[in-house]
Amino acid sequence: METILSIRNLSVSYYTDEGEARAIRNLSLDVEKGETLGIVGESGSGKSTLALAIMGLLQPPARVKTGSIYYKGRNILSMQGEEIRKLRGKEIAMIFQDPMTSLNPVKKIRDHFIEYITEHMENIDEHKALEIARKMMKSVGISEERLDDYPHQFSGGMRQRVMIALALALNPNLILADEPTTALDVLVEAQILELVKRLKNEFSLTLILITHNMGVVAEMADRVAVMYCGRIVELSKTEELYKNPKHPYTKGLIESIPLLYNRSRKLVSIPGHPPDLRNIPSGCSFHPRCPYAFDKCMNVEPELEKKEDGRYVACHLY
Amino acid sequence: MHATFTDEFMVSVEGLVKYFPVQKSFISQLISRKREYVHAVDSVSFQIRKGKIHALVGESGSGKTTTGKVTVGLIEPTSGKVVIDGRDIFKDEVDRRELRKKAQYIFQDPNSSLNPRMKVGQALEEPLIHLSDATKQERKEIVMKMLEDVNLSPAASFYSRYPHELSGGQRQRVVIARALIIQPKYVVADEPVAMVDASVRAQIMDLLITMQKRLGLTILLITHDLAVASYMADTISVMYLGKIVEQGSTEQIFSNPLHPYTNALISSVPVPDPKVKREKQIPHGEVPSAIRPPEGCRFNPRCPYRFDRCTREVPELLELEEGHFVSCFLY
Amino acid sequence: MKREYFSPSRFIFYSILGRGYGRAFIVAGFSIIAFLSTMSIIAPFISPHDPTKIGIGPSNSPPSPSFPFGTDQYGRDMLSRIIWGGRFILLVAFTAVLICASIGVPIGLLSSYIGGNLDRSVSLIMDSVYSFPSLILAVMIISIYGTSVINEALAIAVVYIPSYFRVVRSQVLSIKELQYVEAAKCSGANTLSILFKHILPSIISSIIVVATVNFADSILTTAGLDFIGLGLPVNLPDWGIDLTYGRFELASGSWWVILSSGTMILLAALGFSLISEGYAERQNPKIR
């Protein structure tokens, strides 16, 4: 397996008036070429900050404190203006939760394509760009006449398709999808997930799927990283994670979801609520909510370590 | 579906219709006199037994929230009847104040349903000021007790906090407490866990169930999440584009779904278990506009089983087995 | 959720002081306004000279121990003129602000909350008033009814009512759609209670901001009326008059006239700005 993206000891904080909010704390993660890596977490777990960091899109008040992100051996975090702009789009592309905010409402879809393509590729004329646009629209299942429409003329699901087509237009290797279906209805969500699965194979992409939905991850991902409070608490193959969750937080997440196919199951809810990032508990940040917490958990922060069975868990129980 | 003993039902909705006029600009009003309407809810009927939870399930635009708001009198219906606790709430003689005391609404978004400038205590006190005769001292006592009841303790500390000082789950608890503080008989819970973090969701659902049991509440649960409905509800109505397509007990809906739309919904929910592999039946396309809904059965343009009749006639909601209704020409 | 608008004064305050100064701003603002008001009220007792008396000192003398603020071209004592000079202008401004706010705000609240055709008609009327040039209207009213505090305040107020109306309306339109307003209805609150308990507190800071601008503008309009001879008699002490005529003396090097009167007008506006900014922060504990 070839590692396409490698995050090392990344720490990102937001400096607000109320103090420093530590969104990502000393996080390391490798993404293998061709895999779908699911990153699950609640709001405030740092998963969206991670996406922005990978895209090189962090802006004040956010600041990278330590660490590096290597894409094919080059550190994204030390890249400047033109270099990173070239990387975005051509190498790494992002799909956002709300396509409406990332599409300019007064521009036709064709102009979005032309602008995006000509900006990133040299020696390409509008005609060629339009050809790519037509091809992309076809592959996401929208007829090419709709290139002449404006964003508001599309339904939510169609807009997300357009966003996906745009993201793939420059033939990137790595796709970052941040909650791509959260704003959509169940049926449309299912359609988009199917589409993403198909395109991933068609374009041989590496996919990082960021979501809060355990169901979406189970259906899409090869490996899952569970984030809590700015750290990865568990990382393992999808089947293993769901069959035998190790970290008490992962366990809690899985056991607290009502299941349609097993309705008699008693839900076990995680007590308490996610902590304030400006005031993270000492030791293991999950310990105030953990039913298995013991002395050590309050004082020593567990590292994400490879256990005997080849799984990564950050917990003193193992 | 029309019960013989009306007094076992807390809520009875009959032939509910709500059309919203489409907002048009001044100029286009001059050009065309024709008024267009959003057919938000189109002849919806259901009943909820006392002390039970009935879920309205559907995607956005199905009319479930409009239906919920009509049943507590927040929206006037275009036509139809809503009977709460034996009284038609849209007949003139029904006092608004009496209705508010009886029927409350838990709003979807705990971030915007609490006034950011009002402390938790003030927010909870408001219904008591308007709807009860309690003195200031009594009101404070009731609020304190309610805070404890929804597990916001120590109550005194939460009493004087602002909403932005609370976590999402705590805010939702406040919203629930506000709806229950005047001890209503009927409560509409509009997507009570949609905006809450995954790890807190089960807590909130359990809280609602506990409160429902303790107070003997009747709840109309509005949700897009079938799993939430399956966990909480006794009976379910599946809505599509302003109409109920299937209705029955939770057991009936999930173990024997009849309508193609219900089937599609159930099969397309992402399952949090990679072992479970299912054949998905995803209907193509998206929910059409409610301004000009499709002729015949509203689901027909997306239905894999469509035949001639579906495009011409509107199917009735028929009882196929006891308590299980479906509106589809396949049956 | 965030309801923010760009305010240059906020930008300046925060870039100098940082946030968390809400209370300090309010205290400072009120102190300035209180100082100016008190000074104007007790002017007869504290001013060293008669502000209208010509030739108390030499003409155009720069600040000196006997005339700390200097004298103007007629040899009048600037310190006394400054002490007296706020009486009329502040009174007019206060009255104008009071009149417009107490008309514009309730109309804005009710009209936009009720909505429909009522709102459309009121908006139309307000827009037509808004398009009327304020100084010309003021000139009309003054030349018909004569110079007095009430007349000048009214003349300024009429044109400013739509500003309040617009600000209130635009905010009410978005706030009334928020769930907490609907929740208040559910809690049994009536329209008045919703308007004054739930909506007004959320927009009071914007109203104060408009009031600040209105206040400053009233001062300028009053000064403008003085300038074209429709205001007070020119020999009366008034910051506006001194600022207007001080311009001509600037050419001859007497900067103190314009500096002292200008500073006073600036100080009055600053006082109000501080109050409004402080209020905005206190009302909105979560400005980010």
Q: Give the residue numbers spanning the domain of B178.
A: 6-239
- Whether residue C180 and residue B109 make contact (CB cut-off 8 A), yes or no, is no
Interface A:C, Cβ pairs < 8 A: 5
Q: What is the pLDDT of residue C19?
A: 55
Which residues in chain B touch residue A242, judged by CB atoms under 8 angstroms apart? 272-275
Spatial neighbors of C227 by CB under 8 A, at least 6 apart, are C240, C241, C244
- Whether residue C285 and residue B162 make contact (CB cut-off 8 A), yes or no, is yes
Of the candidates B59, B228, B271, which has its C-beta nearest A187's C-beta? B59
The SS3 of residue B89 is coil
Residue B111 contacts C where some CB pair is shorter than 8 Å: yes
What is the 8-class DSSP label of residue A146? Answer: G
For residue B184, cis peptide bond before it (omega within 30 degrees of 0)? no
Which residues in chain B touch residue C173, judged by CB atoms under 8 angstroms apart? none
Name B104's bridge partners. B187
Q: Are B218 and B50 within 8 A, CB to CB?
A: yes
What is the spatial distance between Cα C9 and Cα A126, in angstroms, rounded to a whole number? 46
- Measured in angstroms, the CA of B193 and the nearest CA of chain A are apart by 12
Which residues in chain A touch residue B168, judged by CB atoms under 8 angstroms apart? 43, 273
User: Which strands sit side by side in the sheet containing B235-240, from one edge to the other?
Assistant: B103-106, B186-190, B218-223, B53-57, B235-240, B243-249, B324-326, B318-321
φ/ψ of B209, rounded to 5, equals -65, -45
What is the spatial distance between Cα B315 and Cα B307, in angstroms, rounded to a whole number? 13
Task: Round the CA-based radius of gyration of chain B to a whole number and report it.
Answer: 21
Of the candidates B96, B107, B111, which has its C-beta nearest C183's C-beta? B107
- Whether residue C184 and residue B126 make contact (CB cut-off 8 A), yes or no, is yes
- Residue carrying the six token digits 């789950």: B169
- To probe the interface with A, which of B153, B221, B225, B286 has the most A CB atoms within 10 Å? B286
Could you tell me whether strands B243-249 and B324-326 are parallel, antiparallel, or unpaired per DSSP bridges?
antiparallel
Grade residue C17 by pLDDT with cuts at 50, 70 and 90.
low
Angstrom distances, CA of residue A311 to CA of A24, A233, A240, A244, A250? 21, 11, 9, 11, 13
Model confidence pLDDT, tens digit, residues B198-244: 888 889 999 999 999 999 999 999 999 898 999 999 999 999 999 99
How is residue C152 written in tokens?
């000048």
What is the spatial distance between Cα A286 and Cα A294, in angstroms, rounded to a whole number? 12
Could you tell me whether strands A36-40 and B103-106 are parallel, antiparallel, or unpaired per DSSP bridges?
unpaired
Give the CA dihedral B130, B132, B134, B135, nearest 10 degrees: 20
pLDDT above 90: residue C275: no
Residue A17 contacts C where some CB pair is shorter than 8 Å: yes
Report the first-to-last Cα separation within chain A, whole angstroms. Answer: 27
Helix crossing, C255-283 with C8-17: angle to 10°? 80
Mean confidence (pLDDT) of chain B: 88
Q: How many CB atoms lie within 10 A of CB B57?
A: 26
- Residue carrying the six token digits 């310190």: C79
Q: Are A36 and A220 within 8 A, CB to CB?
A: yes
Which residues in chain C touch residue B162, judged by CB atoms under 8 angstroms apart? 285
What is the spatial distance between Cα C269 and Cα C278, in angstroms, rounded to a whole number? 14
What is the spatial distance between Cα A92 and Cα A103, in angstroms, rounded to a whole number? 18
- Whether residue C18 and residue A17 make contact (CB cut-off 8 A), yes or no, is yes
What is the spatial distance between Cα C208 and Cα C213, in angstroms, rounded to a whole number? 9
Reference B192, options B159, B232, B149; nearest CA is B232
What is the spatial distance between Cα C227 and Cα C224, in angstroms, rounded to a whole number? 5
Q: Are C183 and B176 within 8 A, CB to CB?
A: no
* Residues 232-271 (C) with a CB less than 8 A from some CB of B: none
Residue B274 contacts A where some CB pair is shorter than 8 Å: yes
- Measured in angstroms, the CA of A22 and the nearest CA of chain C are apart by 17
* Residues 179-208 (B) with a CB less than 8 A from some CB of C: 179
Q: Are C1 and B112 within 8 A, CB to CB?
A: yes
Which residues in chain C touch residue A17, judged by CB atoms under 8 angstroms apart? 18-20, 288
For residue A258, cis peptide bond before it (omega within 30 degrees of 0)? no
The nearest alpha carbon in chain A to B274 belongs to A218
Q: How many CB atoms lie within 10 A of CB A146?
A: 16
How is residue C201 written in tokens?
């507190």
Q: What is the pLDDT of residue A60?
A: 83
How is residue B168 written in tokens?
């999402």
C24 or B100, which is more confident: B100
Grade residue B33 by pLDDT with cuts at 50, 70 and 90.
low
Name B198's bridge partners. none
- Measured in angstroms, the CA of C284 and the nearest CA of chain A are apart by 14
Q: Chains with 3 or more CB pairs closer than 8 angstroms to C? A: A, B
Spatial neighbors of C53 by CB under 8 A, at least 6 apart, are C76, C77
Spatial neighbors of A112 by CB under 8 A, at least 6 apart, are A103, A104, A162, A166
Burial annotation B286-297 (CB, 10 A radius, 16+ → b, else e): bbbebeebeebb
How is residue A43 written in tokens?
């709001």
B299 domain residue, yes or no: no
B314 domain residue, yes or no: no
Residue B279 contacts A where some CB pair is shorter than 8 Å: no
Q: What is the pLDDT of residue C2?
A: 33
- Measured in angstroms, the CA of A115 and the nearest CA of chain C are apart by 31
Q: Are B262 and B238 within 8 A, CB to CB?
A: yes
Q: Are A201 and B185 within 8 A, CB to CB?
A: no
Count how many domains chain C has.
1
For residue C58, cis peptide bond before it (omega within 30 degrees of 0)? no
Q: What is the pLDDT of residue C286?
A: 47
Task: Work out the percent of chain B whose per-residue pLDDT is above 90.
Answer: 54
Question: What is the average per-residue pLDDT within B112-134?
Answer: 91
Residue C186 contacts B where some CB pair is shorter than 8 Å: yes
Which residues in chain B touch residue C189, judged by CB atoms under 8 angstroms apart? 126, 130
Question: What is the average per-residue pLDDT within B151-165?
Answer: 89
- Measured in angstroms, the CA of B184 and the nearest CA of chain C are apart by 11
Residue B170 contacts A where some CB pair is shorter than 8 Å: yes
Residues in chain C: 288
Q: What is the pLDDT of residue C1?
A: 31
Count how many domains chain B has.
1
C222 domain residue, yes or no: yes
How is residue B52 written in tokens?
């039970």
Of the candidates A42, A215, A270, which has its C-beta nearest B269's C-beta? A215
Spatial neighbors of B136 by CB under 8 A, at least 6 apart, are none
Model confidence pLDDT, tens digit, residues B269-297: 888 887 777 777 788 878 888 888 898 99
Grade residue C8 by pLDDT with cuts at 50, 70 and 90.
low
The nearest alpha carbon in chain B to A157 belongs to B286
Which residues in chain B touch residue A258, judged by CB atoms under 8 angstroms apart? 202, 205, 227-228, 230-231
Question: What is the average per-residue pLDDT within B138-159?
Answer: 92
The pTM of the full predicted model, rounded to 2 decimals, is 0.82
Q: Chains with 3 or more CB pairs closer than 8 angstroms to A? A: B, C
Model confidence pLDDT, tens digit, residues A253-294: 888 888 887 777 788 888 888 888 888 999 899 999 999 999
Q: Domains of chain A: which residue ranges?
A: 3-91+172-313
- Whether residue C179 and residue B162 make contact (CB cut-off 8 A), yes or no, is no
What is the spatial distance between Cα B246 and Cα C207, in angstroms, rounded to a whole number? 52
Interface B:C, Cβ pairs < 8 A: 63
What is the spatial distance between Cα A173 and Cα A178, in angstroms, rounded to a whole number? 16
Q: What is the pLDDT of residue A275?
A: 87
Which CATH topology does A3-91+172-313 take?
Rossmann fold (3.40.50)
- Whether residue C19 and residue A16 make contact (CB cut-off 8 A), yes or no, is no
Residue C247 contacts A where some CB pair is shorter than 8 Å: no
Of the candidates B105, B109, B111, which has its C-beta nearest C186's C-beta? B105
Helix crossing, A109-120 with A156-168: angle to 10°? 20
Q: Are B272 and A242 within 8 A, CB to CB?
A: yes
- Whether residue B280 and residue A190 make contact (CB cut-off 8 A), yes or no, is yes
Q: Are C201 and C283 within 8 A, CB to CB?
A: yes
Residue C2 contacts A where some CB pair is shorter than 8 Å: no
C6 domain residue, yes or no: no
pLDDT above 60: residue C184: yes
What is the spatial distance between Cα A139 and Cα A152, in angstroms, rounded to a whole number? 21
Q: Are B54 and B46 within 8 A, CB to CB?
A: yes
* Residues 204-233 (B) with a CB less than 8 A from some CB of A: 205-206, 224, 226-228, 230-231
- Whether residue C182 and residue B178 make contact (CB cut-off 8 A), yes or no, is no
Q: Give the residue numbers spanning the domain of C129.
A: 12-283
Which residues in chain C touch residue B111, judged by CB atoms under 8 angstroms apart? 1
Grade residue B176 by pLDDT with cuts at 50, 70 and 90.
very high
- Measured in angstroms, the CA of B252 and the nearest CA of chain A are apart by 13
C231 domain residue, yes or no: yes
- Which CATH number fits the domain that encloses residue B186? 3.40.50.300
Residue B112 contacts C where some CB pair is shorter than 8 Å: yes
Model confidence pLDDT, tens digit, residues A53-90: 998 888 888 889 999 999 988 898 888 878 888 888 88
Could you tell me whether strands B79-84 and B53-57 are parallel, antiparallel, or unpaired per DSSP bridges?
unpaired
B320 domain residue, yes or no: no
Grade residue C21 by pLDDT with cuts at 50, 70 and 90.
low
How is residue B304 written in tokens?
């894999």
How is residue B223 written in tokens?
């949700």
Residue C20 contacts B where some CB pair is shorter than 8 Å: no
Spatial neighbors of A308 by CB under 8 A, at least 6 apart, are none
B316 domain residue, yes or no: no
B259 or C204, which is more confident: B259
- Which CATH number fits the domain that encloses residue C186? 1.10.3720.10
pLDDT above 70: residue C5: no
Which residues in chain A touch residue C288, judged by CB atoms under 8 angstroms apart? 16-17
